[in-house]
Chains A and B, each alone.
Chain A
Amino acid sequence: MHASTGAPAAPREPTIFELSRPGRRAEAQMPPRPTSNAVPESLRRRRRPMLPEVSELQAVRHYTRLSQLNFSIDTHFYPLGSCTMKYNPRGCNQYAMLPEFLARHPLAPESQGQGFLACMYELQEMLKEVTGMRGVSLTPMAGAQGEFAGVAMIRAYHHARGDHARNEIIVPEAAHGTNPATATMCGMKVIEIPVNADGDCDIEALRKVVGPRTAGIMLTNPSTLGVFERGIAHLRALVHDAGGLLYYDGANLNAILGKVRPGDMGFDVIHMNLHKTFSTPHGGGGPGAGAVGVGERLLPYLPIPVVGRDGERYRYLDERDLPASIGRLSGFMGNAGVLLRAYIYMRMVGREGMQRIGEFATLNANYLLARFKQEGFDPAYPHRRATHEFILTMKHAARDLGTTAMDFAKRLLDFGYHAPTTYFPLLVPECLLIEPTETEAKEALDGFVEAMVAIRKEATEDPARLKGAPYTLPVRRLDDVRAAKNLDLTWKPLA
């Protein structure tokens, strides 16, 4: 194993349970102890849960220290393909966390929510405008739930027409894993079709599989290969003529804002990842928001609630207004606070800015691609324009030096760059999917290219150095096999 670089090993932050001492407590946070316990004996808890007993300061220090072990957008550049890690404006957070918004109970009368509901109604309208769809529901709580809503609506549409044979969803092989997983969750059969050497969908392969069993096709555009699907009009015609519907996976919507609209292109349904395109924070894995937009045919099936307007009054539309709805996907109305952040972001960006997003995301990606080409890296699709992202393949380094895309990714962490998306899409060998977003300055992009060049030099001179990376983070490369074999999923006190 390659020796460490001499960077001091970061001290391990113990678990909160190791900081615990019996009888210690944060008294200022507790109500007085009640005198009675009305729980019947047979239903009472007998042993206390093993929660930590720490002071407020210990908790604050512990979680502050843990936070400092993370990369984040506020601290690092994240060229993470298909994830759109752009700046999350602080103002969006501050104004979404006004005390009245935080305190509002979801079941409070609509008369006590006209401010919040006005924001939601206007957000629906703005999302309709940028996508060209006829109706929007904000309830799905993440992209995958938006996908679920979309496919469930497609299913409901066919069933309402008595067309029960349509149980197949076509998905290009480059699709995000949630697409086939969603189709399965909706009780559909997944039919995968290949893409051709230029990264476009294989139209001939599609022609062979469409037919009376086709419920619809799920397309990501620009695709996960970082290119615009040029045959889109042809694809639409093929699927619509066969009686199927078109689903637009909006994961990459950032690339086309203000340039093309899925509704204009004939799509029947789209989900948007508001935590990507509209800049709500990723929060270390969530929350997201996966609003769905639909064309005329799917309007009756939108998930509820939707925010409607009667004159000057806003109100929730529910089962009574949309009796054919696919129903409710959450306990209330989805990730309301995330939606408020997206609303504030869209208002601050505005009409002109919306178009600039697509333009500068595309400029940054194409500039990075050009720089990488100049430096002799291999784009997976050298003859195509990048959209907001592009793929490099590290297959030559893997063949000649034995260093994988993952090795480059891990070494980048030492250089202070979050790794690009690795090994996705699955069909490009040793790939790095790179998306800079519009909020990065040219200097950040240049620095990233320089880091990649330096790492490639290391790979040539001392490939083992890459294999051992990272060296400067709180831990070195972790043993995933051990993690899955010797499952240690909860902290246990030493016996």
Chain B
Amino acid sequence: MAFIPHTSDDVREMLDAIGVGSIEDLFDEIPAALRCKPLDGIPPAASEMQIGRLMSERAALDGRPLNFIGAGAYEHHIPAAVWAITTRGEIYTAYTPYQAEASQGTLQTIYEFQTMMATLTGMNVSNASLYDGASALAEACLMAVRANRRSKSSRILMPRAVNPTWRKCVHAIADNQGLVFEEVPFDPASGQTVIDALAAYEGQDITAVVMQQPNFFGVLEDVDRATDWAHAHSALAIAAVNPTSLALLKPPGEWGEHGVDIAVGDGQPFGVPLSSGGPYFGFMTTRMEHVRQMPGRIVGRTLDLDGRPGYTLTLQAREQHIRRGKATSNICTNQGLLMTAATIYLAIVGAEGLERVAAASMERTAGLVAALETVPGVKAAFSGTRFHEALLRLDRPVGPVLEALARRGIAGGYDASRDYPELGHALLVCATETKTGADLEAFATALRAVLA
């Protein structure tokens, strides 16, 4: 029996101690009519050796294409030490740190993570992670409704240039509580959100304004103006940011005159593999004045009975296990393991390393655009400054082009034309520090062949 240690003697002794004749007797409180048939739809047990072979075959089917897709998940180098430590049993198989004295390792790691995210985003406090960037943005919108007591409308301005899947996720989560989202357009020439369009909401009750930096197209936004507009109109400012970019870009805490109120994002670029979309982790930081409206776990440093410093979960009165139906969110399990990987990643690369990763990625993407623009039928779509992604326009539908590139071992980007039909045949590409000049050339050569 896989993973069950009982010998037949154990079973006998245990049944005797209980005072029943068989294991079956232990189920005598379940009404007989409810009992199910054998689970014929489950395959027979496979040994680790057999399953290892099957998984290796399946992995081979997926292959290892040269990847130029970004669109919310980014391929960066991950130091070997990150996962060597993260998969240690003491981290990997530990429970949520409710028993603080038996969880100081996890708790101190979270405290260090909170410090790193606060300094990176330029905010006061961080939580211990949310599920991912998309759901973190939804939580930020819900939090803004609670935190902005001057607003009664639950209306949030959401640029169309924000990641389209994140916007869908925000709707799926926040619409249930009656939030209303107004779309702010982007300029078809620059790819930037039209800040002047906010004037349409002059004099109206707006709860919060969202800005993504860089936006979904990789274009840098005028975040100062948007933040100042929000604050001048009694709205909160919510930043959705790529965390790698923060090494180079002004942190949300310094946007505009006063900085934003809530910053969120997906932490995947910090040491988390692409892994078909998860597990990643969402991060959220805020100002101290809003900390009691923040969802998710928070760790604080305190003292023990002997006056020694130690770490514990704090402000738990916000959370579902205490506040039940009145909690700030229903979140319980978060993405602790990925947060751990990110903390180790940031400790190893440091500010200098992160700056180099960000700058190298930016440079590679500029190089990629230059290389691909030499291919007939390919044009960069926007004039705005890019971080490490770029939207290209092709002279034909993107889907078949991507399939043809896949056959040549290249994952050639994301087909953005379904989310943005107004952009025509739009392909979003990304090159990080992992790509060499030869890789960029290989992509250009393949694309030239496919479009020929």
A142 on the B face (CB < 8 A): yes
Tell me if A64 and B17 are in contact (CB < 8 A). Answer: no
Of chain A, the residue at the smallest CB distance from B306 is: A476
CB nearest neighbor in B for A39: B248
B347–A100 touching, CB < 8 Å? no
Cβ of A440 under 8 Å from chain B = yes
Partner of B331, one of A13, A62, A108, A142: A142
Asked if A155 lies at the interface with its beta carbon under 8 angstroms from chain B, I say yes
Q: Select B362's contact among A38, A439, A479, beta carbons within 8 Å.
A: A38
With a CB–CB cut-off of 8 A, which chain B residues contact A44? 248-250
Instruction: Choose one: A15, A130, A362, A440; the contact of B108 (CB below 8 Å).
Output: A15
In the assembled complex, B120 has its CB within 8 A of some CB on chain A = yes
List 3 tightest A-B contacts by C-beta distance, closest first.
Answer: A350-B45, A332-B277, A74-B89
B60→A183 contact, CB < 8 A: no
Nearest A residue (CB) for B19: A370
Report how many residues on chain A are interfacial, defined by Cβ distance under 8 Å. 204
Question: Can you list 22 A-B pairs with a CB-CB distance of less than 8 A?
Answer: A31-B360, A33-B356, A45-B248, A51-B120, A71-B99, A74-B92, A115-B58, A129-B39, A144-B320, A145-B331, A180-B324, A187-B178, A259-B35, A260-B34, A337-B276, A353-B45, A413-B102, A439-B3, A475-B310, A478-B101, A484-B315, A489-B298
Q: Tell me how far the C-beta of B153 lies from the nearest C-beta in chain A, rounded to whole angstroms.
A: 16
Instruction: Please pick, from A38, A70, A332, the residue contacting B94 in the complex, using a CB distance under 8 A.
Output: A70
Could you say which residues of chain B place their CB within 8 Å of the CB of A489? 111, 114, 118, 124-126, 291, 298-301, 314
Q: In the complex, how many residue pairs between chain A and chain B have their CB atoms under 8 Å apart?
A: 692
- Would A70 and B79 be within 8 Å (CB), given that A128-B41, A265-B34, A351-B43 are in contact? no
Q: How far is the CA of A490 from the CA of B291 in the complex (A)?
A: 13
Determine if B111 and A491 form an interchain contact, defined as CB atoms under 8 angstroms apart.
Answer: yes
Residue A6 at the B interface, CB < 8 A?
Answer: no
Q: Is the CB of A333 within 8 A of B277?
A: yes
B29 with A228: CB separation less than 8 A:
yes
Q: Which residues of A contact B109 (CB under 8 A)?
A: 63, 66, 284
Q: With both chains docked as a complex, state the minimum distance between the C-beta of A276 and any C-beta of chain B, in angstroms.
A: 10
**A-contact 0/1 string along B192-233, CB 8 Å cutoff:** 000000000000000000000000000010011000000000
Q: Could you tell me the dominant secondary structure of chain A's interface residues?
A: loop
B residues in contact with A114, CB < 8 Å: 61-62
Question: How far, in angstroms, from A352 to B44 measured CA to CA in the complex?
Answer: 7
Residues of chain B in range 79-94 having any CB-CB distance to chain A below 8 Å: 79, 81, 83-85, 87-94
B contacts with A, residue count (CB < 8 A): 201
**Is A399 interfacial (CB-CB < 8 Å)?**
no
Q: Are B411 and A105 in contact (CB under 8 A)?
A: yes
> Which B residue sits closest to A33, measured CB to CB?
B356
By beta carbon, the residue of chain A nearest B102 is A71
Which residues 45-66 in B have Cβ within 8 Å of A in the complex?
45-48, 51-52, 54-65
Decide: A288 and B79 in contact? CB cutoff 8 A: no
Q: Inside 8 A of B2's CB, which chain A residues have their CB? A: 348-350, 353
Stretch binding the partner chain, chosen from B164-172, B372-380, B441-449: B164-172
Cβ of A382 under 8 Å from chain B: no
| B251 touching A49, Cβ below 8 Å | yes
Among the stretches B7-15, B183-191, B389-397, the one at the interface with A is B7-15
Interface pair B89/A75, CB less than 8 Å apart:
yes
- Residues from chain B with a CB closer than 8 A to the CB of A100 are 59-60, 62-64
Are A366's CB and B26's CB within 8 A? yes
- Which of chain A's residues 63-119 have a Cβ closer than 8 Å to chain B? 63-76, 78, 80, 83, 85-89, 91, 93-109, 111-116, 118-119
Contact between A64 and B88, CB atoms less than 8 A apart? yes
Q: CA separation between A177 and B47, bound complex, in Å? A: 38
Name the residue on B nearest A230 (C-beta): B29
Q: Which residues of A, 368-389, contact B by the 8 Å Cβ criterion?
A: 369-371, 374, 384-385
Q: Does B403 sit at the interface, judged by CB under 8 A?
A: yes
CB-contact partner of B304 in A132, A147, A475, under 8 A: A475
Contact of B350 among A52, A129, A354, A359 (CB under 8 A): A52
Which chain A positions have C-beta within 8 A of B14? 363-364, 367, 442
Q: Scan A419-454; emit 1 where CB is below 8 A from any B CB, else 0.
A: 100001000000000000011111000000000000
A340 to chain B, nearest CB (A): 8
Chain A residues within 8 Å of B302, by CB: 478-480, 482-483, 486, 488
Interface residue B261 (Cβ < 8 Å from any Cβ of A): no
Q: For B36, give the chain A residue with the smallest CB separation.
A: A261
Complex: A283 Cα to B279 Cα, angstroms: 11
B322 touches A129 (CB 8 A): no
Determine whether the beta carbon of B79 is less than 8 Å from that of A285: no
Q: How many whole Å from A410's CB to the nearest CB in chain B? A: 7
A350 touches B44 (CB 8 A): yes
Residues of chain B within 8 A (CB-CB) of A107 are: 69, 71, 73, 414
From the candidates A34, A176, A288, A356, name the one contacting B360 in the complex (CB within 8 A).
Answer: A34
The yes or no answer to B95 lying at the interface (CB within 8 A) is: yes
Q: Which residues of B contact A102 (CB under 8 A)?
A: 273-275
Tell me which residues from 331 to 383 in chain B have a Cβ below 8 Å from any Cβ of chain A: 331-338, 340, 343-344, 346-357, 359-360, 362-363, 366
Q: Considering only CB atoms, which chain B residue lies closest to A48 in the complex?
A: B351
Query: Does B119 belong to the interface (CB within 8 Å)?
Result: yes
Q: How far is the CA of A489 from the CA of B4 in the complex (A)?
A: 42
What B residues does A72 contact at CB under 8 A?
Answer: 89-95
A241 interface residue per 8 A CB criterion: no
Q: How far, in Å, is B107 (CB) from chain A's closest CB?
A: 9
Contact B273 A115 (CB under 8 A): no
Interchain CB contact (< 8 A) of A181 among B34, B103, B129, B327: B327
Most buried by A among B133, B173, B276: B276
Q: Give the residues in chain A near B152, CB-CB below 8 Å.
A: none
| Docked-complex contact B102 and A70, CB < 8 angstroms | yes
Contact of B333 among A144, A344, A473, A479 (CB under 8 A): A144
B85 touches A484 (CB 8 A): no
- Taking A31-B360, A348-B3 as known contacts, 14 extra A-B pairs with beta carbons closer than 8 A to each other, sorted by chain A number, are A34-B360, A38-B366, A43-B250, A64-B88, A74-B89, A103-B75, A115-B59, A116-B62, A141-B132, A348-B51, A350-B44, A352-B44, A487-B314, A489-B125
Q: Which residues of B contact A260 (CB under 8 A)?
A: 30, 34-36
B96 A141 Cβ-Cβ under 8 A: no
A195 at the binding interface (Cβ < 8 Å): no
Evaluate contact between B135 and A112: CB separation under 8 angstroms: no
Contacts of A371 in B (CB 8 A): 17
Q: In the complex, which residues of chain A have a beta carbon less than 8 angstroms from the beta carbon of B104? A: 66, 69-70, 473-475
